[in-house]
Structure 1
Amino acid sequence: MIDLRSDTVTRPGRAMLDAMMAAPVGDDVYGDDPTVNELQRYVAELSGKEAALFLPTGTQANLVALLSHCERGEEYIVGQGAHNYLYEAGGAAVLGSIQPQPIDAAPDGTLPLDKVAAKIKADDIHFARTKLLSLENTHNGKVLPREYLQAAWEFTRQRGLALHVDGARIFNAVVEYGCALKDITHYCDSFTLCLSKGLGTPVGSLLVGSRDYIRRANRWRKMTGGGMRQSGFLAAAGLYALQHNVERLREDHDNAAWLAAQLQEIGADVMRHDTNMLFVRVGEESAAALGDYLRAQDILINASPVVRLVTHLDVSREQLKQLVAHWKAFLNR
């Protein structure tokens, strides 16, 4: 099956599984799992931060990040289409009594700082206290401009806000920039990193920040059910991914660009492509039929009027050629 629904569908390869099986483990709730500790140390060092915390999922990492920045009755400013506002069941509001203040993102995925400034609440008993600006990098595949990251950092220092980055695919951004992780994480107080997307692990995310911040986050992780025991088996997959699978993300970006060009050539309405994602307009009438047709050819997509195709380590260029051939056949029916 050729699965282009998301880069979350990747499976660990034999070398990663071997690393998992060989991992020394302990009890992470006690803080004595050596492989978890090494993963956390390694990511903190890569990012230039003081500490990191391993969590089971990206949703929990984002939730714990917000809970560790904001108290009840405080708010975070966030994009209307941001994952930690729109796609995580309202967890910050429901479980943390934290108010989201969503604003529209610009076409490049940034949150315009003049719009952010207009939404910062006055120190008044009628309003929630504005505490945090939350960005997303990458956002729908788009890499935020590096100069914007610096401007947002300086803006939040001036306004007394913390700055968090949902970096589920932050290494896709790093590869696109051609820089080191710490070159961009310098411009935030905290960030999350997902290991189970393009990096190819079966599970796991990290939250990274200052030592005091991660100490608070560890309490929230326990409270929200994320305290695992012999989780070094999972952390070993993360270490392997970070040491072997980061640079290969460039292949996914190249494959997405190649696929966009090929689909355009056969007449598909490719709206855009960025990093490892491309978006193709197929329309209401054709969406279900295209999805069914490709499924019959052992190709999975999320069939919708605008189809998002995501390239990843489990889809080769040869398989993408099959997709193009079948898409062309569908258009020619």
Structure 2
Amino acid sequence: MIDLRSDTITRPTPEMLRTMIRAEVGDDVFAADPTVNKFQQRMADMFGMEAGLFVPSGTMSNQLCLHVLTEPGDEVIIDEAGHVFNYESGAAAYLSSIQLRSLKGNRGKLTSELIESAIRPKNEWDPKSKVIALENTTNKGGGAYYTKDELTEIRELADRHGLFVHLDGARIWNAMAVSGIEPDFFGSISDTISICFSKGLGAPIGSMMLANKEQIKRARRHRKMLGGGMRQVGLLAAAAEYAVDHHQTLLDDDHKRAKKFAETISKNPAFGVDLSTVDTNIVLFDVVDETAEEALQKFSDAGIAFVPFGPKTIRATFHFQVDDEDLENVLKAVAEYQ
């Protein structure tokens, strides 16, 4: 099966596994795992932040970030397509007693003008606007990314209104590959960042919260409360660091394959796709005369897996374990589809 359901389905490479076995480990609950300690500081330095905290998942990282930025009753402004709003089981309300104000942006992206229109007046009966949550790249937006100018405008708006900025960078590596933005820029416009190693980079497990030292101290305690205090986590941190060192350069190839796939999709009248929206490794396309489920079954019979993203919409996500030979087989199936 050629699996294009997600970039989370990648498996550790043999060299990554060897790197994990060689990792020096300790007990991370005692902050005594040298591999994860070094990696946390390396990622913090890379992104221009003070400190980092390795966690099992992007959801935990996002929720820890929102927790340290807010108090119960605060409000987080977010695009209606955002991961925190759609795919984190209502955790913001459950864990931090905060609410999310969702706005309809463009492909999962917010603008400073749209955000400003949603900032609450400071009446005692209003929720308190506290955080602007951005996702880069956007999942439900089909891999769209923010430009430097867009992020700078949002940061300036946040400063004018005394708001925090949280950046959900689950696919920040894809955003950097396509935009050329250096990682420390994201630290300059964000108060907290979540980065992920288990998507396009191909690590088996792991994300990281980046923030200032006091926020990380608070987050360590809350991580423990949530059951996220791990022990010899250097094994996982070693895999994540290997992915950062060896797999970043492969992201450009994922983007090129996604574009080639979209171009082939556009030539088959059974499908519809907007080529201008194919920015990174995610392609959203529509089925014209069938349902997404019917089309998915036909592709499955041909040995190809996608995921439904709506009644007639399908998502294809490229990753480094789909090579050029796999791509040619996928393109052949698309061209012959009827």
Runs of 5+ unmatched residues, structure 2: none
- RMSD over equivalenced CA pairs, Å: 1.4
Is 2:279 aligned against 1:280? no
Q: In the TM superposition, what are the counterparts of 1:165-204 in structure 2 within 5 Å? A: 165-204=167-206
Partner of 2:166, secondary structure, is: strand
Q: Which residue of 2 aligns with 1:270?
A: 273
Q: Residue 135 of structure 1 aligns with which residue?
A: 134
TM-score (norm 1): 0.95
Quick one: distance in 1 between partners of 2:163 and 2:225?
Answer: 25
State the alpha-carbon separation in 1 of the partners of residues 169 and 289 from structure 2: 32
Structure 1, residues 159-209: CA drift from partner, whole Å, max 9, x if none? 101111000000101111123211233211111001100000111100101
Q: Distance in 1 between matches of 2:295 and 2:130?
A: 45
Report the Cα offset of residue 120 of structure 1. Answer: 1.8
Contact 2:66 2:92 in 1 (8 A): yes
Query: How many pairs are equivalent?
Result: 330
Aligned residue in 1 for 2:221: 219
| Residues 1:70 and 2:70 are matched in the alignment | yes
In 2, are the aligned partners of 1:5 and 1:302 still within 8 Å (CA)? yes
Per-residue deviation, 1:244: 1.0
1:9-35 per-residue CA deviation (whole Å, 9 max, x = no partner) reads 111101111111111110001000011
2:43 is the counterpart of 1:43: yes
Q: Which runs of 5+ in 1 are unaligned?
A: none
Counterpart in the other structure of 1:148: 150
**Structure 1: how far apart are the matches of 2:109 and 2:79?**
8
CA–CA distance in structure 2, aligned partners of residues 212 and 174 of structure 1: 27
Residue 113 of structure 1 corresponds to which residue in structure 2? 112
Is contact 2:48-2:186 (8 Å) kept?
Answer: no
Provide Cα deviations, 1:41-91, integer angstroms capped at 9, x if missing partner.
110111111101000011111111111111111111111110011211110
Q: CA deviation at 1:281?
A: 0.7
Please, what TM-score do these two structures have when normalized by structure 2?
0.94
Residue equivalent to 1:92: 92
Matched position secondary structure for 1:261: helix
Write out the 4+ residue segments of structure 1 that deviate beyond 6 Å after TM superposition: none
Query: SS at the partner of 1:285?
Result: coil
The one-character-per-residue Cα deviations of 1:292-325 (angstroms, maximum 9, x if unpaired) are: 1221222111145111111101101211111121
Residues 110 and 148 in structure 1, CA contact (< 8 A), matched pair in contact too = no
Q: Is the Cα–Cα contact under 8 Å of residues 25 and 35 in structure 1 kept in the other structure?
A: yes
Q: 1:290 maps to which residue?
A: 295
Identity of aligned residues (%): 37
